[in-house]
Amino acid sequence: MPFPFSRPFRNFPPQMVFVNRRIFVLLLALASLRAWGAADSAPVQPPPKLSDETIAQAVKQDDFSVPTPGELLAALNKVAKPNWQAQYRPPIPTAYTSRPQIALNLGGLIADGYIAVEAEDSQQVKNIGKDIMTLAKTLGISESVLRRGKTIEDFAENNEWSTLKEELDATQNEVKLAMDEQHDEELTTLVSLGGWIRGTEAVSGWIANNYTEPAGKLLRQPAIIEQLRAKLAALPAKAHEDSLVKGLEPRLEALQQMVSFAPGTPPTAADVKRINDAAADLIQSITAKK
């Protein structure tokens, strides 16, 4: 059973790629770039109406899409009432030197932000927001992205949880756009991958400790991992020289086999534990300082 998201994107199979409000938020982010670049003291003007050309360009930027961490969590929310605070992890380092490792951990931190929002924990949201901006700055991402840190903090302070989810969507999309503009397209793939792995670790961790068959079925994601592996294989040769990137493929292949159980047949509690262990092992390798 695939994640219960909205209609499939373009001609990809439904279980592979999904589109929801991310496209709207991405378009809004594109339209607002000029306003965000203004001085902090200047009032932000409403974004101009988007042209057909701008919309087409935004869609092109999202021609490869996997479920956001927020969607992974929302899928579990539909069949259970998770205690998301139980899925927090200790703070991770923010002084990495490898750009691929920074990108992977940036995606993981964005997933942590969604978890904190689901837990409605304003202090945790603010802490994670600061770490997100630290890593983003290390990658040389534009000031327009970094300014979202203050926005996230303000929304968390006011407990605006629905708006915060949209803000995290926008932050992730802006990060990817900024990387594309810097010709770091390979890092865009790694941000998506890091977010998906961390989201899967959190979801499978809760299911492993609170097993039910409906929840277990949510972990069937072979097509998503297949797409991630294909994008990983297509990275430039220089990226594959990175020891961390090099070690991702065999672990993803093993994880794909674990989540390829038959449609309609839930994994056992032991199967879910193996999936969670594999995702946790990936996260440990991604966060480890070299």
Distance between CA atoms of 116 and 122, rounded to whole angstroms?
A: 8
Query: Is residue 266 situated within a structural domain?
Result: yes
Q: For residue 149, is pLDDT > 80?
A: no
**What's the pLDDT at 51?**
43
SS (H, E, C) 156-194: HHCCCHHHHHHHHHHHHHHHHHHHHHCCCHHHHHHHHHH
Each residue's pLDDT tens digit, 207-233: 999 999 999 999 999 999 999 999 999
Copy the structure tokens of residue 158. 């006011």
Burial category of 273 from C-beta neighbours within 10 Å (exposed 0-12, middle 13-18, buried 19 and up): middle
Each residue's pLDDT tens digit, 233-265: 999 999 999 999 999 999 999 999 999 999 989
Confidence of residue 62 (pLDDT cuts 50, 70, 90): very low
Give the residue, 56 or 93, on which the prediction is more confident. 93
Distance between CA atoms of 252 and 262, rounded to whole angstroms?
A: 19
Count the domains in the chain: 1
Query: Is residue 35 situated within a structural domain?
Result: no
Is residue 256 within 8 Å of residue 282, measured between CB atoms? no
**What's the pLDDT at 125?**
93
Give the residue, 44 or 280, on which the prediction is more confident. 280
Query: Is residue 1 situated within a structural domain?
Result: no
Each residue's pLDDT tens digit, 177-206: 888 888 888 899 999 999 999 999 999 999
The boundaries of the domain holding residue 182 are 70-81+93-287
Q: For residue 176, is pLDDT > 60?
A: yes
Query: Is residue 52 situated within a structural domain?
Result: no
Is residue 87 within 8 Å of residue 202, measured between CB atoms? yes
Give the residue, 83 or 3, on which the prediction is more confident. 83
Q: What are phi and psi of 80, to 5 degrees?
A: -155, 175
Nearest Cα neighbor of 232 from 212, 247, 216, 214 is 247
Distance between CA atoms of 261 and 211, rounded to whole angstroms?
A: 16
Query: Is residue 118 situated within a structural domain?
Result: yes
Query: Is residue 26 situated within a structural domain?
Result: no
Distance between CA atoms of 103 and 195, rounded to whole angstroms?
A: 10
Distance between CA atoms of 131 and 127, rounded to whole angstroms?
A: 7
- Helix/strand/coil for 94: coil
Burial category of 286 from C-beta neighbours within 10 Å (exposed 0-12, middle 13-18, buried 19 and up): buried
**What's the pLDDT at 144?**
65
| Residues above pLDDT 70, as percent of the chain | 76
Is residue 262 within 8 Å of residue 242, measured between CB atoms? no
Each residue's pLDDT tens digit, 103-133: 999 999 999 999 999 999 999 999 998 899 8
Query: Is residue 199 situated within a structural domain?
Result: yes
Query: Is residue 20 situated within a structural domain?
Result: no
